Structure 1
């Protein structure tokens, strides 16, 4: 499944899949699109085009208050963008994290300025690297369910995805035994 959005100059969103978004979002797109400059006059630094694929999470145990989310984010536009956060109804906070090794100890840390998605580039969020943390889970994530997640980009704005919840220890939906979505 792929989700795609374009938002030149912070004014317009095009959803690559009709099911993405709510009626309010659809109405706001129509209201804002008349204010957008034509694509051929938009400045390079003001345009990004975000596509998200292979979005997934792992099931969590009862009482576990955090979970991870992983995916591939491509920016096919001429300007870089930045993943700065998000929201989900299943957690109190959504944070962008990385993992680093300090003195032989692996630590996760929040990226205060978000994660750059370079123009024409792809960034893969995966276990042990860049990832999304779902903090303050309201209930355990269960294998087989899907979880709605809205990611926020500095230029592209909000992008909605569905996380396929994989088994504990999974390395992604395309590994042996994982789902094919």
Structure 2
């Protein structure tokens, strides 16, 4: 009887150690603050949109991936001018975050791209995003669906 209880306790401890897949941050690991999270509404008939926010890490880190129950895929993208054309490309190695400096994800620059949006997004809706970092604990964010403040870039593109 004692042996059975001991084996059961060991099994429970093993399961607890492997629970949700979210790892605990290492002692002294950076933390990341998120501000002004916003995703654009989806244009009629489209299932892609951009999301923007400001990230501030307490120590050097890297945004390595993003998940959302509201889209099939979320990619970290950079936009840059090439041959007088705005080009967008996935940042496969993630996006570096400098210690103590605000890093903006904004129209015309680095941003998150939601692909395969499951339901049309309208102004006033919200989008759940889980930001995963190289060393900081994951951060879950609720982004508001709205149009970002107009800029020169916004006059030439839809995301």
Q: Compute the TM-score of the two structures, normalised by the length of structure 2.
A: 0.75
Partner residue in 1 for 2:139: 159
Partner residue in 2 for 1:72: 54
Report the number of matched residues: 131
Query: Among 51, 60, 66, which residue is 1:86 paired with?
Result: 66
Q: Distance in 1 between matches of 2:91 and 2:62?
A: 11
- Aligned partners of 2:38 and 2:51 also within 8 Å: yes
- Aligned partners of 2:77 and 2:91 also within 8 Å: yes
Q: Distance in 1 between matches of 2:137 and 2:94?
A: 13
- Aligned partners of 1:88 and 1:149 also within 8 Å: yes
Structure 1 stretches of 4+ with a deviation exceeding 2 A read none
- Provide Cα deviations, 1:113-161, integer angstroms capped at 9, x if missing partner: 1100011221011000010001111121110011111111111142100
How do 1:1-181 and structure 2 match up within 5 A? 37=27, 39=28, 47-77=29-59, 80-167=60-147, 170-171=148-149
Q: Distance in 2 between matches of 1:171 and 1:64?
A: 21
RMSD across aligned positions (CA): 2.1
Q: Secondary structure at the match of 1:135?
A: strand
Q: Quote how far apart the aligned CAs of 1:76 are.
A: 1.8
Q: Distance in 1 between matches of 2:149 and 2:97?
A: 22
Unaligned runs of 5+ in 1: 1-23, 40-46, 173-181
Bigger relative contact order, structure 1 or 2, given CA contacts below 8 A and separation 6+?
2
Q: Distance in 1 between matches of 2:144 and 2:121?
A: 10
Partner residue in 1 for 2:11: none
